[in-house]
Amino acid sequence: MRSAPLIVCAVLALGGCAHRTMTRATVAVGEPIVSDEPSDDWRHVARSSDIARLTTLPDRFAAAAPRSGAGQAALKTNTTARWPSPTPGVYRCRVHRLPAVGSARTFPPFFCYVQSDGALLTFAKGTGSDRPAGRLWADGNDRRVFLGGAARVAGADAPGYGADPATDRIGLVDRIGDFRWRLIIDAPRPGTLFDVVEFWPDSGSLATDAPR
């Protein structure tokens, strides 16, 4: 199965913000293992081993987060924050890394992007040395499943899901508050249990305007 490479491009246009210029950000995702018309069921795309991991991910994350030593809202499951899905646009994001040993580490905010890809959405981290990018599949009414890859070299395109198990990234997107979501990436590298990518719509300021 083959499909054309997925190109995720986002341009932010903000009225009344003449002091700020946002350049075009382009994130390329390599050829994924999906048909030209991607299935609306992520289980038809994911490896059987990844289906098993995604099924157990919520319980494993719930057990690991309280032991991480971090108090960020992104690590607390909010059962009252139901869907809706994020909409296409530019977002501010920050990563909370939960290691297998030791306390969680939080990185400074950066930009990420949500775009449309036919009936699906795509998510891409725009900067940094580890840049996950891939498609988002609806999974019931409360979350989306992320299947993608990660570019670990500056300037390189992110490979598509299925290209190489070493670069594959899988996870779940949940809503954690008003206009706030998190992408929990399962075991992105040796020694890391989860990368939690918290994201919220860009406010138009390059300052660190992260939610508390």
Convert the pLDDT of each residue in 183-200 to its tens digit: 999 999 899 999 999 999
- Please give the angle made by the CA atoms of 58, 72 and 187, to the nearest 5 degrees: 40
Among the residue ranges 30-34, 51-55, 126-130, 163-167, the one predicted with the least confidence is 30-34
Beta-strand pair 25-29/105-106: unpaired
What is the pLDDT averaged over residues 77-100? 85
Q: Which two tokens stand for residue 203?
A: 């406010």
pLDDT at 71: 57
The beta-strand segments (E) located in 51-153 are 89-99, 105-106, 110-117, 120-125, 131-139, 143-151
pLDDT interval class at 210 (50, 70, 90):
low
What is the pLDDT averaged over residues 35-45? 71
Mean pLDDT of the chain: 77
Residue 82: what are its φ and ψ, rounded to 5°?
-85, 175
pLDDT interval class at 50 (50, 70, 90):
very high
pTM of the predicted model as reported, rounded to 2 decimal places: 0.77
| Per-residue pLDDT tens over the stretch 149-163 | 997 776 778 889 988
Residue pair 72/100 in contact (Cβ under 8 Å)? The answer is: no
